[in-house]
Amino acid sequence: MSRRGAPLDWALGAWGIAFLAVLYLPIALVLAYSFNRNVVNMMVWEGFTLDWYRSIFGLATRLAEDASYVHSTEGLVHAARNSVVVALAATAVSTVVGTATALAMARHRFRLRPLYQALLVMPMVMPDIVLGVALLVFFVGAGMTLGLGTIVMGHCVFLASYVFVVVSARLAGMGADLEEASADLGAGPWTTFRRVTLPQVAPGVAGGALLAFIISMDDLVITYFIAGVESTTLPVFIYGMLRRGMKPEINAIAMLLLAFSFVIAATGLWLRARRR
């Protein structure tokens, strides 16, 4: 390495360290404060405790002298259950729709194809508040009752775009030679898809499904507009807790969500590496 390039290397290294610090130090602080015993001021360290995690799982019945402070876990469990149900349903539908659309766009040429591709990507680049208001107006205008069904449909609108982009990137590196050879050997379209196309595109489908699941679990803005009274999801529930005041349980919930997202992402990377 030349001495002339040393200052530039030091500058790039310092920039990288500063970037990682800005990105991960707030997460590290949330992790530390999720174990803080201080109830009044979470920013002042008072001692180590697991009470906030016990409170989330219903293992602590009384954490302070004031009984009104103790957070009921019923609403939290209900919101978490709603988030999982919505995420699973929306991921299943959007994965099928996004994969089928990506295959159709990759294997067929038709008029207005660029316009159709732009419309497919539009929900990804559209501001969440605009999409949320638009979905709310549509559901109310159609006379639909807001609930888990409207949340699932609203999530499918933009999650299908994410799956479409991920699967399309996988299809871009795949030729149609094997599919044509399968057809020449007498295999039908369904057999060719099941035995030839799907095994090749499976990593992209799995990656798109995991991405859709994580985005659905973490969505707040769009869900806030199209959720009903009894269909509160976990992000909306946490937002409601923040509006009533910062509580230590919020740090613990944030850490559990982060750990859950990390497990999902690690599983996707492991499946992708194993497939390769």
Domain harbouring 227, CATH code: 1.10.3720.10
φ, ψ for residue 152 (rounded to 5)?
-60, -45
**Which of 52, 67, 82 is a domain's end point?**
67
**What pLDDT does 180 receive?**
66
Residues 237 and 112 in one domain: yes
Distance, in Å, from the CA atom of 67 to the CA atom of 73, rounded to the nearest integer, reads 14
Residues 45 and 98 in one domain: no
* Residue 119 domain flag: yes
**N-terminal to C-terminal alpha carbon distance within the chain:** 35
Residues 142 and 224 in one domain: yes
Residues 39 and 87 in one domain: no
- Percent of the chain scoring above 90 in pLDDT: 19
Give the confidence band of 86 by pLDDT, cuts at 50, 70, 90.
very high
**Which of 16, 33, 67 is a domain's end point?**
67
Residues 9 and 109 in one domain: no
Q: Which of 55-69, 98-112, 125-139, 157-171 has the lowest mean pLDDT?
A: 55-69
* Residue 136 domain flag: yes
Q: Are 255 and 30 in contact (CB under 8 A)?
A: yes
Distance, in Å, from the CA atom of 227 to the CA atom of 6, rounded to the nearest integer, reads 55
Residues 96 and 60 in one domain: no
What is the radius of gyration, based on Cα positions, of the chain?
Answer: 24
Residue type, 80: A
Is 80 exceeded by the pLDDT of residue 62?
no
* Residue 254 domain flag: no
Q: DSSP string covering the chain, please?
A: --GGGHHHHHHHHHHHHHHHHHHHHHHHHHHHHTTB--SS-TTS---B--HHHHHHTT--S--SS-GGGSPPHHHHHHHHHHHHHHHHHHHHHHHHHHHHHHHHHHH---TTHHHHHHHHHHHHHS-HHHHHHHHHHHHHHTTPPPSHHHHHHHHHHHHHHHHHHHHHHHHHT--SHHHHHHHHTT--HHHHIIIIIHHHHHHHHHHHHHHHHHHHHH--HHHHHH--TT---HHHHHHHHHHT---HHHHHHHHHHHHHHHHHHHHHHHHHHHH-
pLDDT in tens, 236-257: 888 887 776 666 777 887 788 7
User: pTM of the entire structure?
Assistant: 0.77
**Which of 21, 51, 67 is a domain's end point?**
67
More confident residue, 260 or 188: 260
Q: Are 99 and 162 in contact (CB under 8 A)?
A: no
∠ CA 187-190-195, rounded to 5° = 70
* Residue 260 domain flag: no
Residues 52 and 189 in one domain: no
Q: Of 212, 261, 217, whose CA–CA distance to 238 is shortest?
A: 217
Q: Are 228 and 19 in contact (CB under 8 A)?
A: no
* Residue 8 domain flag: yes
Residues 47 and 155 in one domain: no
What's the domain range around 34? Answer: 3-67
* Residue 272 domain flag: no
**What pLDDT does 63 receive?**
46
Structural domains of the chain, count: 2
* Residue 258 domain flag: no
Residues 89 and 22 in one domain: no
Residues 123 and 59 in one domain: no
pLDDT in tens, 30-52: 888 888 877 766 677 777 888 77
* Residue 180 domain flag: yes
Residues 159 and 132 in one domain: yes
Residues 84 and 172 in one domain: yes
